[in-house]
Structure 1
Amino acid sequence: MSESDAGGDDLSGLSGFFFYVFIVHPATAWILKPGRFERKKSITYAIGFLALLAAVKTGMEMQAKGPNHYSLLGVNRNSSPLDVKRAYKKLSLQLHPDKNPNDPLASAKFDRVKKAYDVLIDMEYREVYNKFGQPGIDSNKRFDETQFFMELGIFYVTWGIMAYVLTLGKRSGLGRQWTFTGLIVMLVIEITIMTSQGNPFPSWFMPQNTEYEIIWLLHTLFPAFMNGCRSIGGFLFVDLEAQTRQLLLALQEQNKDILLVLRDVQIGVQNIQANGGGGGANGRVAGSAPSGTQPRMTPTGKLKELQDRLQSSNSTVQQAVSQLKTEKSNSNFGFYAMILGYVAISYIFNNS
């Protein structure tokens, strides 16, 4: 299968988006569910699961695309036209239909080798192929700075909006930071690759892959990276507001219990005083003071003062609880808005 024929099998489009949203993210959330595994093990398992899934998915897509021109001829990006010519001659002798009469695909294989040779033997075509792949050769595309930055803006603005909507809510704050950091790093890498003159990579780095394929690889892995950031960031999130709310509610309940006990004690003291148990040695009521001296607070008065303070504290706690903002229940709306937005944008740009 040629590179141009593999577009329909590429999972990095709309189907890949739904695959990550409806399958990968719930599976990762299941692994990261509190109490299922130890904290460190949960993170390790989730990262391993996402890495394995991304590797399998990307490998299937690369296999569906088939070998590129360099792999087909057995040369690399730095091979000279003479090296390309030698490799082509060797393969053409092996794959020529006259030498493979029993192979029904011999003619197609030979044509693919000839097509790869025609591209790589011409240095101008090779540069176009390195930057834009086989679609760039088919459309005779050349690097245009205005068009490049326009297409770049559309792609990154689209994914930026999708990433923002997908990470709405305070639980996704950490994941949102990671996602946008990765998006910015990918943007810088892509601009560096596409605006550089010649081959920007060292000879040992993926020698048979083009700049076009490396950028495609980054774009393909980004949904997995975004979902990983979203899942792990949510798992590591600590809701300080909720913890504060729980502490205040617990304090409020404690105050209520103390107030109930104080009421019982106050009633008991009043009953003792009413039955004459509070009289002093001189017949004075407990708590009374001689004339001209500072009045002494009675036990009932002390309890009443303590009760008033607790009631004031309880009112303050209740006010603090009511002032704490709760998270708005807009996650479902954001989720469906993100789905509809992605479908609409994909349809518009795929049919423009």
Structure 2
Amino acid sequence: MSDQQNDASGGDDMSGLTGFFFYMFIVHPITAWILRPGRFERKKSIMYAILFLAGLAAIKTGLEVQQRGPNYYQKLGITRSSSPLEIKRAYKKLSLQLHPDKNPSPDAPAQFDAVKQAYDVLMDMELREVYNKFGHEGIQQNKRYSETQFLLEIAVFYVSYGVMAFLLTMGKKSGEARNWTFTGLLAMLVLEVAVMSSQGNPLPEYLFPTLTECEIVWLLHSLFPAFMNGCRSLGAYLFVDLDAQTRQLLLALQEQNKDILLVLREVQIGVQTIQTHGAGRNSTSGAVVTTDMPRATPTGKIRELQERLQASNSSVAQAVQNLKADKGSSSNLGFYGLILGYIVISYVFNN
């Protein structure tokens, strides 16, 4: 089992890279298909996409957790806060059950050695701290916490993912997705620094009582590709082109202005015609002369102008409403969410 854990720990980078390409080239196209306009109703499309991404991430992460196998705390059936006496009791109970003389399983010696190894590590406070921070690989490499080395490692990881996220969210349609992605990346950075740089046990006793700091960080890194690709898909789907809406609004205003000028020109012609013909009387006999001139009047033309303005105003009002709605949706919710998340994390770890 120790070899299995070592292989899993050594393959974390490859697993993360494989997971990234899996989400990028398989999951993202499927999510885009779900969110294609006209496929479902808007709310249902978003709900189906979120459920698909969350379910797939849960299944994938669950399989990876199962592949890694139980950690030392889970093997002994204890928690991170267990005292040395509790560890001794748990080991004594398991050693009697798994001893090769009493355990009929073919791999009884391996099971017994795994429990013994877990006991030896967790009973040594220095090794226990190394195991919590760096896992089984840290024990084998006799690794110790170094602030300089830690900052260098997280700098390489987060700069790499930051550049990758920036490249994947380039373009006008990915503006919101970029904000969400970098907000999640910063929140993950804050949580990782809080977990790895704290002395002792930084996690509350009721929160994942058997997971180590190393496994918490691994879980965050494993879930981030799903989060980033989910942001890309939903951001592109929810994107509203303000430039296009502004152009439509200006075109509508231009057409409305043309209608106004046309009707006003007709009103002017009508007024000039009435002024020219006057009351329609013959200048010599004074008799009323009937003409075949159109019966359009300035009052009628003004009424026609009013009707045209009312008709064209509806399209202008709709464009303005869309601009207002999009302006409200493009607020800095990600930034405020980051601040709130930092406050919550600080409160949890300080208490």
Q: Do Structure 1 and Structure 2 share a fold, with TM-score over 0.5?
A: yes
In structure 1, the partner of 2:132 is 130
Q: What number of residue pairs does the alignment pair up?
A: 267
Does the Cα contact within 8 Å between 1:9 and 1:61 map onto a contact in 2?
Answer: no
Map residues 206-221 of structure 1 onto 2, 5 A cutoff: 206-221=208-223
In structure 2, the partner of 1:51 is 54
Does the Cα contact within 8 Å between 1:9 and 1:64 map onto a contact in 2?
Answer: no
Map residues 237-256 of structure 1 onto 2, 5 A cutoff: 237-246=239-248
Over residues 11-53 of structure 1, what are the superposed CA-to-partner deviations in whole Å (9 max), with x where a residue is unaligned? 7422111100001111111111111111111111111111101
Give the C-alpha shift of residue 258 in structure 1. Answer: 12
Give the C-alpha shift of residue 242 in structure 1. Answer: 2.1
In structure 2, the CA distance between the partners of 1:135 and 1:9, relative to structure 1 (3 Å rule), is closer
In structure 1, the partner of 2:322 is none
In structure 2, the partner of 1:343 is none
2:21 is the counterpart of 1:38: no
In structure 2, the CA distance between the partners of 1:145 and 1:69, relative to structure 1 (3 Å rule), is same
User: Which amino acid is 2:171 matched to?
Assistant: G
Does the Cα contact within 8 Å between 1:81 and 1:122 map onto a contact in 2?
Answer: no
In structure 1, the partner of 2:101 is 98
In structure 2, the partner of 1:196 is 198
Q: Structure 2: how far apart are the matches of 1:124 and 1:258? A: 84
User: Which amino acid is 2:38 matched to?
Assistant: G
Give the C-alpha shift of residue 250 in structure 1. Answer: 7.1
Map residues 50-129 of structure 1 onto 2, 5 A cutoff: 50-101=53-104, 103-129=105-131
Give the C-alpha shift of residue 127 in structure 1. Answer: 0.7
User: Which amino acid is 2:83 matched to?
Assistant: S
User: Which amino acid is 2:54 matched to?
Assistant: A
In structure 1, the partner of 2:144 is 142
**What is the CA RMSD across the aligned residues, in angstroms?**
2.7
> Scaled by the length of structure 2, what TM-score is found?
0.70
Over residues 164-191 of structure 1, what are the superposed CA-to-partner deviations in whole Å (9 max), with x where a residue is unaligned? 0000001000010011011111111111
Q: Structure 1: how far apart are the matches of 2:89 and 2:198? A: 29
In structure 2, the partner of 1:311 is none
Which deviates the most, 239-248 or 38-47?
Answer: 239-248
In structure 1, the partner of 2:8 is 6
Q: Structure 1: how far apart are the matches of 2:97 and 2:157? A: 43
Fraction of identical pairs, as percent:
69
Instruction: Give the secondary-structure state (helix, strand or coil) at the position aligned to 2:236.
Output: helix
Give the C-alpha shift of residue 100 in structure 1. Answer: 2.5
Map residues 132-171 of structure 1 onto 2, 5 A cutoff: 132-171=134-173
Q: Structure 2: how far apart are the matches of 1:133 and 1:124? A: 13
Bigger helix fraction:
2
Q: Structure 1: how far apart are the matches of 2:258 and 2:113? A: 86
Give the C-alpha shift of residue 240 in structure 1. Answer: 1.4
Does the Cα contact within 8 Å between 2:9 and 2:137 map onto a contact in 1?
Answer: no
Q: Structure 1: how far apart are the matches of 2:244 and 2:56? A: 34
User: Which amino acid is 2:155 matched to?
Assistant: G
In structure 2, the partner of 1:184 is 186
Q: Structure 2: how far apart are the matches of 1:206 and 1:183? A: 22
Uncovered stretches (5+) of structure 2, i.e. residues with no partner? 267-281, 284-351
2:25 is the counterpart of 1:25: no
User: Which amino acid is 1:134 matched to?
Assistant: H
Which deviates the most, 39-48 or 163-172?
Answer: 39-48
